[in-house]
Amino acid sequence: MIETAQPFNRLIDLASGRIAEASTITYRHLSDMRGWFADADAEAALIAENPLIYEVHYGYNAPSIDGQLGFGTTLLYPGRIGDEYYMTKGHYHRKADRAEIYYGLSGEGELLLQTRDGATTVQHIAPGVVAYIPAYHAHRTINTGRETFVFLSVYPADAGNDYESIAELGFAALLVERDGKPQVVPSPRYHTQA
């Protein structure tokens, strides 16, 4: 038998990103992201407070098989660790040839994309903006604003998330606040693999 989902719909609250009847909600606090921000001293100073950085609300329990689609919302809170803005961990897809769509719902921020050779690009996402994440690109979102940045993601259900490649070196670029404004700077930690 071919496994498919039944037809269904979900209501997303556009302002909050909450999905009525979400199947799962994942919470990422600073303690779940130790070592992911560049400034270790700033991380250490905040770890007792352990701020909530983002939530992912999954629309349904997608079967991770070829041909199915998963979707969910990300609620990325405003804030910084040192001068680096709150961000998602970021990942390549485990099935690296899987692409993805992000659609801005509320607040705004940046989508940082990176290829395996360390080339990065940044796309701005605001309400109504669709961003296309091509296959083979790592992707991370960063909240450079003052409100919660909320977006919808739609992805092949079998894509999977490879965090290990990012955990090792991070991304080649960071989004930091300089003179009150977001700026893209090279990451001191990043180097291309020999």
Strands 69-76 and 52-58: antiparallel
Assess 91 for contact with ligand S6P (CB under 6 A): yes
Specify the 3-state DSSP secondary structure of 46: helix
**Shortest approach of ligand S6P to residue 169 CB, angstroms?**
15
Q: Is 53 left (phi over 0), alpha (psi -120 to 50) or beta?
A: alpha
Among residue numbers 94 through 123, which ones bind ligand S6P (CB under 6 A)?
100
Cβ atoms 107, 149 nearer than 8 A: yes
Query: Measuring CA to CA, which residue among 94, 27, 88 is closest to residue 58?
Result: 27
State the minimum distance, in angstroms, from the CB of residue 32 to ligand S6P: 9
Interaction mask 136-165, ligand S6P, x per CB under 6 A: ---x-x-----------x-x---x-x----
The contact pattern for ligand S6P, residues 119-138, with x = CB under 6 A and - = no contact, is --------------------
Provide the CA 68 distance to its chain's centre, in angstroms.
Answer: 21
**Contacting residues toward ligand S6P, per CB under 6 A:** 56, 72, 74, 88-91, 100, 139, 141, 153, 155, 159, 161
